[in-house]
């Protein structure tokens, strides 16, 4: 339509048209426009390749906190994957490491009737009930990284934390040649990765001469890890290795040891292996090893799309992991079998 208008005014300005001609031109233009729009309407209705207006879907994403780089990366991975699908809109909420706030967010998403809910829960037990309510209200739920109690969700996506903990234990046994004093700085013990990394680690060191001389729950937080490590350093003269359940914790422990002038006496092992964090620490010689813990953000969007299109999804998607240490970091680490 715009094209016609433009052509008409150009004609009018450029040529000296008399009133009768002008009137006839107007009538034929109106006819032409009516024909054109009529045609295009029926074309739309019958064209075999034309698709109807695409349905929009809303995904609610409840992130337990954004204080750690790994969680910022998870949201970025979700946003990047969703951006490839214009029919998806993702609403992010940050629970700021507060379980009650996260419970309320899940309830808000459920009453807003989002099409899919994604949650990375802070703690297992308190988030189980609101997710069950969302499921009962017919909202599909994807649980990312940390588990709930039981299996009342549509799909769980995450890496095998027990396997990672065990591999970390075995790496340390080998690096210390079977004996030595170890500090274990654990992730939040009311969250499943913290529990699984701990039990896996115990399996990995079982039967060796390693002794865990100090153990604390640093709740995934670097400042807590640093403080706990200061206590360990004050109590023990001989520490051979620190195993922290994430790279933030390992870095906090390293800073405490460095402040005491003892960082060269021990090894530091973490988990997460973000390129700009854990992997960079290994390259710089701050950490001795880290194990990749993928965020699952892209897989969550893939799964959400399948659910939205009525396709079946597995109840569990287990993500792989890689080991980075000084021997393999320059080749991009090695896959853990
Ligand atoms: C971030 C984080 C990661 C860790 C994951 C476990 O909050 O602590 O460092 O790998 O959560 O759920």
> Domain boundaries in the chain?
1-12+20-34, 57-159+295-320, 161-294+325-335
First vs last C-alpha separation in the chain: 63
Q: Is 293 in the pocket of ligand 1 (CB under 6 A)?
A: yes
Interior/surface letters 150-172, b for 16+ CB within 10 angstroms, e for the rest? eebbbbbbbbbbbbbbbbbbbbb
Q: Is 146 in the pocket of ligand 1 (CB under 6 A)?
A: yes
Rounded to two decimals, the pTM is: 0.84
Q: Is 145 in the pocket of ligand 1 (CB under 6 A)?
A: yes
Is domain 161-294+325-335 in CATH 3.40.50.2300, yes or no?
A: yes
* Ligand 1 nearest-atom number relative to CA 146: 12
């960079």: which residue's tokens? 280
Cβ contacts of residue 261 below 8 Å, gap of 6+?
Answer: none
Ligand 1, atom 6, residue with closest C-alpha: 193
Is domain 57-159+295-320 in CATH 3.40.50.2300, yes or no?
A: yes
Q: Do domains 57-159+295-320 and 161-294+325-335 have the same CATH topology?
A: yes
């529990």: which residue's tokens? 195
Q: Is 271 in the pocket of ligand 1 (CB under 6 A)?
A: yes
In angstroms, how far is CA 233 from the centroid of its own chain? 34
Q: Is 70 in the pocket of ligand 1 (CB under 6 A)?
A: yes
Distance 244 CA to ligand 1 centre (A): 11
* Ligand 1 nearest-atom number relative to CA 293: 10
Quick one: pLDDT at residue 52? 61
Quick one: pLDDT at residue 55? 87
Distance 165 CA to ligand 1 centre (A): 13
Interior angle at CA 282, CA 224 and CA 179, nearest 5: 75
Quick one: pLDDT at residue 284? 98
Tell whether the torsion through CA atoms of 17, 19, 24 and 27 is positive or negative.
positive
Alpha carbons 255 and 20: distance in angstroms, whole number? 90
Per-residue pLDDT 10s for the chain (337 aa) are 333 232 222 323 333 334 444 444 444 444 343 333 333 333 333 334 445 677 899 999 999 999 999 999 999 999 999 999 999 999 999 999 999 999 999 999 999 999 999 999 999 999 999 999 999 999 999 999 999 999 999 999 999 999 999 999 999 999 999 999 999 999 999 999 999 999 999 999 999 999 999 999 999 999 999 999 999 999 999 999 999 999 999 999 999 999 999 999 999 999 999 999 999 999 999 999 999 999 999 999 999 999 999 999 999 999 999 999 999 999 999 999 9
23 CB-contact burial (10 Å; exposed 0-12 / middle 13-18 / buried 19+)? exposed
């Amino acid at each position: 339509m715009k094209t016609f208008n433009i052509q008409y005014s150009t004609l009018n300005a450029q040529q000296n048209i008399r009133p009768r001609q002008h009137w006839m031109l107007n009538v034929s233009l109106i006819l032409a426009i009516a024909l054109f729009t009529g045609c295009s309407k029926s074309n739309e209705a019958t064209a075999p390749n034309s698709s109807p207006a695409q349905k929009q879907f809303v995904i609610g994403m409840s992130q337990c906190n954004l204080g750690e780089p790994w969680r910022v990366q998870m949201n970025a991975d979700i946003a990047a994957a969703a951006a490839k699908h214009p029919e998806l809109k993702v609403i992010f909420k940050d629970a700021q490491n507060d379980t009650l706030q996260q419970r309320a967010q899940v309830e808000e998403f459920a009453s807003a009737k989002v099409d899919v809910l994604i949650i990375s829960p802070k703690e297992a037990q308190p988030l189980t009930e609101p997710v069950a309510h969302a499921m009962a209200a017919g909202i599909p739920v994807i649980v990312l990284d940390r588990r709930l109690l039981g299996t009342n969700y549509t799909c769980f996506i995450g890496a095998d934390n027990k396997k990672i903990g065990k591999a970390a234990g075995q790496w340390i046994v080998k690096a210390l040649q079977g004996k030595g004093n170890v500090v274990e700085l654990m992730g939040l013990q009311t969250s499943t990765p913290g529990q699984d990394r701990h039990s896996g680690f115990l399996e990995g060191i079982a039967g060796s001469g390693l002794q865990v001389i100090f153990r604390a729950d640093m709740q995934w937080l670097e400042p807590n890890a640093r403080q706990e490590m200061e206590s360990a350093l004050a109590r023990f003269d001989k520490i051979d290795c620190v195993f922290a359940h994430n790279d933030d914790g390992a870095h906090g422990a390293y800073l405490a040891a460095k402040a005491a002038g003892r960082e060269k006496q021990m090894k530091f092992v973490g988990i997460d292996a973000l390129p700009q964090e854990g992997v960079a620490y290994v390259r710089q010689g701050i950490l001795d090893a880290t194990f990749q813990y993928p965020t699952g953000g892209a897989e969550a969007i893939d799964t959400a799309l399948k659910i939205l299109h009525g396709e079946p999804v597995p109840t569990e998607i287990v993500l792989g992991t890689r080991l980075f240490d000084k021997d393999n970091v320059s080749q991009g680490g090695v896959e853990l079998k």
